[in-house]
């Protein structure tokens, strides 16, 4: 047996906090460790599962200090335990809005309204959609964005992975535990994934590549049966029979709630300075959700630590000025 996930205790949570962290991935949990250690009353709100996207990764091989690798769920579990150890409370709820009321930041959730002078947004990203016919229709019927959830349905079958980055190639490797054939379909003629991951993929007999191809349509009767591909070099269209397709073409930030409040870049990522400060004093952002050059667990942790310390300093400053 792999593991047994232990549930969280329901906690009494005060409506007034020092820091509210939105999102319980690696960045949010790390921010919680730092603000907790600063003895700030910290509430972390997570709408889905603790660990965020990291918890969906089967094995994380490039996380420093773990030469044997660590599973996404084990790392998430440890970060959560550490954040709670220093007093961070976790609320299982969806954030509905973030508004300002003087010095207070008001966070409305599905489980009540909370406020704090300081908020750290670590809402992360969600998988980018291809936006092609059939993608929505066949969701759960062969179209998936979660290999660890759905890989086991494709034992002995033929699947496609769309994308060429780290996630695409790592998940393709994971899928070889189940599928007979895994085709990586990539619009370029080389991968963007880490070289070591590429090497593993190239030497795996179950993985094959379709370079310079894009998926135009996903088709089938009741479930995915084939992809319609375009060869970008010859402009030829071809029918490609598959049982499933896993889409890893990048990430889109979860910032819809903050678009009118904070400065975002053209892709919707939150703009911060090096202290993780956003365009609104007291609101910080950390992890994949902000504009940055490398979106990895290790950089998310770093962001979280900086945001935690920045929030602490901000609270000291406003208290000094008599803001509260």
Partner 1 sequence: MALLRDEDRKYLENLFKENLKDKVKIILFSEKSSGSKLYIPGRIECPYCQQTREILEEVVSLSELLELEVHDFLAEEILAKKYGIDKIPAILFQKDDEVLNLRFFGIPSGYEFSTLIEDIVDISRGETHLSEKTKNFLKTLTKPVHIQVFVTPTCPYCPRAVRLAHQMAMENKLITADMIEAIEFPHLAEKYQVSGVPKSIINETVEVEGAVPEDIFVEYVKSAIKA
The residues annotated with a catalytic role in the active site are: 146, 149-150
Quote the least distance from Cβ 104 to partner 1, whole Å: 26
Residues near partner 1, by CB under 8 A: 1-7, 9-10, 48-49, 51, 55-56, 73, 94, 110, 139-144, 146, 148-150, 152-154, 222-224, 243-244
Quote the least distance from Cβ 146 to partner 1, whole Å: 7
Q: What is the rounded distance in angstroms from the CA atom of residue 65 to the CA atom of residue 62?
A: 9
Interstrand relation of 224-231 and 237-241 (parallel, antiparallel or unpaired): antiparallel
Quote the least distance from Cβ 240 to partner 1, whole Å: 18
Is-contact 20 105, C-beta < 8 A?
Answer: yes
Cβ proximity to partner 1: between 114 and 154 the closer is 154
Please report which residue ranges of 124-274 form alpha helices under DSSP H: 147-150, 166-175, 195-203
Sheet with 42-46, side-by-side order of all strands: 89-92, 42-46, 19-22, 118-121, 283-285
Quote the least distance from Cβ 97 to partner 1, whole Å: 15
- Contacts (Cβ under 8 Å, ≥6 apart) of 151: 174, 175, 177, 178, 179
Q: In whole angstroms, how far apart are CA 238 and each of 31, 86, 168?
A: 48, 56, 22
- Contacts (Cβ under 8 Å, ≥6 apart) of 108: 95, 96, 97, 98, 99
Cβ proximity to partner 1: between 53 and 301 the closer is 53
Q: What is the rounded distance in angstroms from the CA atom of residue 206 to the CA atom of residue 183?
A: 8
Cβ proximity to partner 1: between 110 and 267 the closer is 110
Cβ proximity to partner 1: between 54 and 249 the closer is 54
Structure tokens at 48: 């889905």
Cβ proximity to partner 1: between 145 and 284 the closer is 145
Length of the chain: 324
Helix (H, G, I), strand (E, B) or coil at 158: strand
Q: What is the rounded distance in angstroms from the CA atom of residue 101 to the CA atom of residue 117?
A: 9
Quote the least distance from Cβ 8 to partner 1, whole Å: 8
Using CA of residue 245, residue 248, residue 254, residue 256, what is the dihedral sign?
Answer: negative
Quote the least distance from Cβ 12 to partner 1, whole Å: 12
Cβ proximity to partner 1: between 185 and 242 the closer is 242
């Amino acid at each position: 047996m792999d593991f047994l996930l232990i549930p969280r205790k329901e906690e009494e949570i005060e409506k007034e906090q020092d820091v509210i962290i939105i999102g319980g991935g690696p960045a949010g949990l790390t921010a919680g460790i730092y603000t907790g250690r600063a003895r700030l009353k910290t509430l972390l709100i997570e709408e889905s599962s603790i660990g965020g996207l990291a918890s969906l990764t089967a094995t994380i091989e490039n996380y420093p200090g773990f030469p044997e690798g660590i599973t996404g769920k084990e790392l998430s579990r440890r970060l959560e335990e550490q954040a709670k150890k220093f007093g961070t409370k976790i609320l299982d709820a969806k954030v509905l809005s973030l508004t300002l009321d003087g010095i207070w930041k008001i966070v409305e959730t599905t489980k009540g309204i909370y406020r704090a002078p300081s908020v750290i947004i670590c809402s992360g990203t969600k998988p980018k959609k291809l936006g092609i016919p059939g993608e929505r229709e066949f969701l759960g019927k062969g179209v998936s964005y979660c290999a660890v959830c759905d890989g086991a349905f494709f034992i002995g079958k033929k699947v496609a992975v769309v994308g060429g980055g780290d996630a695409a190639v790592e998940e393709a490797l994971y899928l070889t535990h189940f599928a007979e054939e895994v085709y990586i379909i990539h619009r370029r003629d080389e991968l963007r994934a880490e070289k070591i991951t590429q090497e593993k993929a190239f030497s795996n007999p179950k993985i094959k590549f379709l370079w310079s191809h894009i998926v135009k349509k996903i088709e089938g009767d009741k479930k995915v049966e084939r992809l319609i591909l375009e060869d970008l070099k010859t402009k030829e269209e071809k029918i490609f029979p598959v049982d499933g397709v896993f889409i890893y073409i990048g990430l889109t930030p979860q910032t819809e709630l903050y678009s009118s409040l904070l400065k975002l870049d053209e892709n919707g990522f939150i703009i911060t300075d090096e202290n993780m400060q956003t365009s609104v004093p007291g609101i910080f952002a950390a992890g994949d959700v902000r504009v940055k050059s490398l979106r990895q667990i290790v950089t998310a942790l770093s962001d979280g630590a900086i945001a935690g310390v920045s929030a602490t300093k901000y609270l000291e400053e406003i208290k000094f000025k008599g803001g509260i």
